[in-house]
């Protein structure tokens, strides 16, 4: 098959990493994979076998606004024609999805990586929220959608009210052997003292404020490592809690797996997710996880004996308690509970879409 992926860019993020993993994995199974970026910006590297194209030249951002989206859709349609027909087009994240919808490409499935209605509900401007809901319904209703978790699928049906969309749930692919091999890589930047880790962009939904409050309350001897880009706002947040000496902002890491594998635990503090890849990746590396029970994903991952490591959203005291417990008595991780997230399960499901 010839498969096309469409994304805004390849700047660090779970949806972007999952797209590369899909393209790489499907290529290894004998398919021809292409990625079209709306803008030629990347922090992740892409295997040479996956062909990457962009609608802008290096260093230039895509044009914004209504007119910019129409221009991008025209460029996308033209490039699509030049590349020839594809058996399957997979678009990911709302901006790319809107451009693809305007371009009216054939054989399209939209991969939904987040709970979109929760994002809308968090918006303070009610008029803007109403416009966003109308836009999402225009993009996605009556379309073929891939939800990255059961929670996202439910949100599309009930939260956005997409009664006419065809929705399939396909988890992101995880190459267990590759992740475990990469986790053994030598990284000279790894902390020498024991640490707890968090990975994710510095965004409101990630609740770094809650994480810092819980870490301070837990009073552990560990360092807290944040795999996120430094920023003045984050620095101020850390300083306001007097944690300058106990928190390390380690930046983006293309290979985060040694950092996961050597951590005492990974902590997720989000108010919302779609399907948090880092939770599954940490567990594959043998690292226990404490997470808020946010919509959605964590409750689908931390099942069975791991369910006790879920805490209510926004509860710093509960998060601190579980952080102490997981460090003092590290739980066993049942590999059987992770098999649902194997790469082959995802690739088989993607291939079935084009049959």
- CATH number for the domain spanning 217: value is 3.40.50.2000
Say if CB 207 and CB 270 are below 8 A apart.
yes
Q: What pLDDT score was predicted for residue 152?
A: 95
The tally of domains found in the chain comes to 2
Examine the domain organization and report whether 162 and 287 are in the same domain: no
Examine the domain organization and report whether 196 and 222 are in the same domain: yes
Examine the domain organization and report whether 284 and 218 are in the same domain: yes
Examine the domain organization and report whether 208 and 136 are in the same domain: no
pLDDT tens for the chain, residues 1 to 355: 999 999 999 997 889 999 999 999 999 999 999 999 999 999 899 999 999 999 998 877 888 888 999 999 999 999 999 999 999 999 999 999 999 999 999 999 999 999 999 889 989 899 999 999 999 999 999 999 999 999 999 999 999 999 999 999 999 999 999 999 999 999 999 999 999 999 998 999 999 999 999 999 999 999 999 999 999 999 999 999 999 999 999 999 999 999 999 999 999 999 999 899 999 999 999 999 999 999 899 999 999 889 999 999 999 999 999 999 999 999 989 888 898 899 999 999 999 998 7
Examine the domain organization and report whether 335 and 214 are in the same domain: yes
Examine the domain organization and report whether 255 and 329 are in the same domain: yes
d(CA 265, CA 118): 27
Interacting residues of 15 by C-beta distance below 8 A, sequence separation 6+: 7, 92, 93, 111, 113, 274
Examine the domain organization and report whether 169 and 29 are in the same domain: yes
pTM reported for the whole predicted model: 0.89
Examine the domain organization and report whether 115 and 151 are in the same domain: yes
Q: What pLDDT score was predicted for residue 13?
A: 83
Beta pairing class for 2-7 and 32-37:
parallel
Examine the domain organization and report whether 210 and 307 are in the same domain: yes
| Range(s) of the domain holding residue 271 | 176-339
Examine the domain organization and report whether 26 and 162 are in the same domain: yes
């Amino acid at each position: 098959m010839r498969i096309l992926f469409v994304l805004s860019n390849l700047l660090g993020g779970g949806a972007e990493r999952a797209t590369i993993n899909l393209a790489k994995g499907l290529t290894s199974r004998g398919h021809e994979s292409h990625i079209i970026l709306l803008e030629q910006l990347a922090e992740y590297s892409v295997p040479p076998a996956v062909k990457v194209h962009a609608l802008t030249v290096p260093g230039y951002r895509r044009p914004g606004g209504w007119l910019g989206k129409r221009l991008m859709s025209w460029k996308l349609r033209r490039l699509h024609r030049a590349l020839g027909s594809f058996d399957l087009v997979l678009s990911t994240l709302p901006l790319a999805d809107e451009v693809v919808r305007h371009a009216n490409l054939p054989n399209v499935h939209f991969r939904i990586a987040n709970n979109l209605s929760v994002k809308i509900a968090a918006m303070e401007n009610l008029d803007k929220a109403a416009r966003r809901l109308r836009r999402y319904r225009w993009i996605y209703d009556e379309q073929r959608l891939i939800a990255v978790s059961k929670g996202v699928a439910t949100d599309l049906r009930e939260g956005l009210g997409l009664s006419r969309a065809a929705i399939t749930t396909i988890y992101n692919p995880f190459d267990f052997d590759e992740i475990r091999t990469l986790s053994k890589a030598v990284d000279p930047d790894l902390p020498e003292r024991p640490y707890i880790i968090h990975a994710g962009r510095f965004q409101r939904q990630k609740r770094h404020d809650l994480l810092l409050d819980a870490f301070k309350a837990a009073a552990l001897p560990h360092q807290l490592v944040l795999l996120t880009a430094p920023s003045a706002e984050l620095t101020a947040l850390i300083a306001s809690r007097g944690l300058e000496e106990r928190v390390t902002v380690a930046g983006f890491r293309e290979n985060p797996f040694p950092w996961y594998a050597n951590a005492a635990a990974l902590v997720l503090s989000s108010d919302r997710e779609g399907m948090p890849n880092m939770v599954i990746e940490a567990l594959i590396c043998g690292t226990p996880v404490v997470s808020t029970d946010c919509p959605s994903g964590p409750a689908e991952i931390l099942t069975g004996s791991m369910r006790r490591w879920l805490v209510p959203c926004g509860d710093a005291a509960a998060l601190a308690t579980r952080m102490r417990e997981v460090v003092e008595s590290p739980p066993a991780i049942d590999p059987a509970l992770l098999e649902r997230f194997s790469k082959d399960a995802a690739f088989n499901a993607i291939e079935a879409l084009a049959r």
